[in-house]
Amino acid sequence: MLSVKITPYLSVSFKRKLKISMSKIKKIAVFTSGGDAPGMNACIRAVVRTGLYHQLEMVGIMQGYQGMIDDNFKPMTAHSVSNILQIGGTILKTARCLDFKTDEGMEKAYQNVKKQGIDALVAIGGDGTFTGAERFSNKYNIPIICVPGTIDNDLYGSDYTLGFDTATNTVIEAIDKIRDTAASHDRLFFIEVMGRDAGCIALRAGISCGAEAIMLPEVDTAIDELITKIENGALNKKSSSIVIVAEGDKNGGAYNVAKLVKEKINFYDTKVTILGHLQRGGSPSAFDRILGSRMGFAAVNALLKGETHKMVGLKGNAICLTSLSEAIHFHDFKLEDDLMEMAVILA
């Protein structure tokens, strides 16, 4: 992986290399695709302003791949991205586009990109976005750099994805409020959070809020085992219990888990809360604003240095590049062992 060093001043040799690369890239387009994530606007802003600093033409593609097909392109200026750092969602909008998966749809998108005179692309999204980007770039030889924008934090090549920190904080705030009413009424709450394939949000939120149990896609949790935990809590005079259920848990989600538990215990008034798309919205945290800015800045500089088919990521506290092929297909992601152990012991 290639580290992208971020410094306030550029060396003479780096400027010379940039000048050579910039002769090939004059116009860059940026777009967001798939599910929205807090911090995407910070990334869009950084992409646009970094490109303008290097005297490039900058374009925003509205509604992702659908916008490519529909010829929905928008010139971007410094003013276009003013006062958007604190806004959730994405000013470029997003959409899921089935037509882009077809050869006809992709060809139409390419003709529009070509007509606009676009030399390179920055794509912000998750693995579906990356898959489309890799296919498109390979087929038409267009340089592309991707930025991981997904609250699930489940892409190989980056310790954190854009939006994960904000989403986790949103979940924690909601659970804290639910805990107040749960304790007041001696209630058992099952709270479902996003995480179809990855339990990152559930695990961190559960530890942060002192959940009695956390149910994850990565771990098979028997209902009898869960009931034992809840019963032990009641014996220890707990006035309430909170169970965090990731939507991808193998027992079938919060409603089904609550139903199975309620059949065997009745000493708590049982309630279910589905946080749903609440987790995607809201003003991004400082972490996600800075991460989005760093990744957008690095994406443009990577293109100018001749990089393509790469994802910008954060490893430790350093920006790095990972091949799109690895980011999409390498599934070595796993939850931290110490957090998994803490979730059991601290509960």
**Per residue in 34-83, pLDDT tens?**
999 999 999 999 999 999 999 999 999 999 999 999 999 999 999 999 99
Q: Specify the CATH architecture of the domain 2-163+284-329.
A: 3-Layer(aba) Sandwich (3.40)
Specify whether the CB–CB gap between 133 and 163 falls below 8 A.
no
The two tokens of residue 8 are 């306030």
Alpha helix ranges (H) inside the chain: 12-22, 40-53, 64-70, 103-115, 127-140, 164-185, 200-209, 223-235, 254-262, 286-304, 324-329, 337-345
**Span of 19-28, 284-293, 295-304 with lowest mean pLDDT:** 19-28
Q: Let me know if 141 is exposed, middle or buried by CB neighbors in 10 A (0-12, 13-18, 19+).
A: exposed
The H helix count followed by the E strand count for the chain is: 12, 12
Q: What angle do CA 347, 151, 226 make, to 5 degrees?
A: 25
**Do 2-163+284-329 and 164-280 come out as alike in CATH topology?**
yes
Percent of the chain with pLDDT over 90: 74
Q: How confident is the model at residue 344 (pLDDT cuts 50, 70, 90)?
A: confident
Give me the residue spans of the domains in the chain.
2-163+284-329, 164-280
For the record, the structure tokens of 276 come out as 């749903």
Domain covering 164-280 assigned CATH 3.40.830.10 in the classification: no
Catalytic residue among 152, 154, 165, 249: 152
Q: How many angstroms separate the CA atoms of 125 and 337, rounded? A: 27
* Whole-number Å distance between alpha carbons of 10 and 280: 37
Is the pLDDT score of 124 beyond 60?
A: yes
Q: Is 224 a catalytic residue?
A: no
pLDDT tens for 142-152 read: 999 999 999 99
Contact 227, 212 (CB under 8 A): no
